[in-house]
Amino acid sequence: MPMEASEIEALIRQGIPDARVIIEDLKGDGDHYSALVISEAFRGKSRVAQHQMVFAAMQGKMGGELHAMALQTTTPDKVPDFAKA
C-alpha cells in the first residue's frame, strides 16, 4: 500500500522535531520518493548515522509500506541551493 508524502514527512518530523523535510514522489506511484532532510540534529554525525536517524523515524515502514526512498541529509548551514527558501 503506497504512502502519502505527508505521512512520510510527519513520521520524520515526529522523530526529528526540528527537521525541514522536502519530499518528491519520483514516479507518481506513492512508492518511490526522494527526501531531503535538514536538521541541526545531524551536526557532527556521519552520513550513515544521519540516515539511520531518518530510518528510525520511519518506524519500520521503509521496505514495507514504502518501497524506495532516495535520501539526502544535511545540516542547515549546508542546504543545497535548490532547497534554500
Q: Domain locations in the chain?
A: 5-78
3-state secondary structure of 13: helix
pTM, to two decimals = 0.87
Mean pLDDT on 21-25: 93
Stretch 26-44: mean pLDDT: 90
Q: Name the burial class of residue 12, with classes exposed (0-12), middle (13-18) and buried (19+) by CB atoms within 10 angstroms of its CB.
A: buried
Residues with Cβ within 8 Å of residue 39, at least 6 apart in sequence: 16, 18, 19, 20, 73, 75, 76
Query: What pLDDT is stored for residue 4 in this prediction?
Result: 87
CA 15 to chain centre: 11
CATH domain 5-78 topology: GMP Synthetase; Chain A, domain 3 (3.30.300)
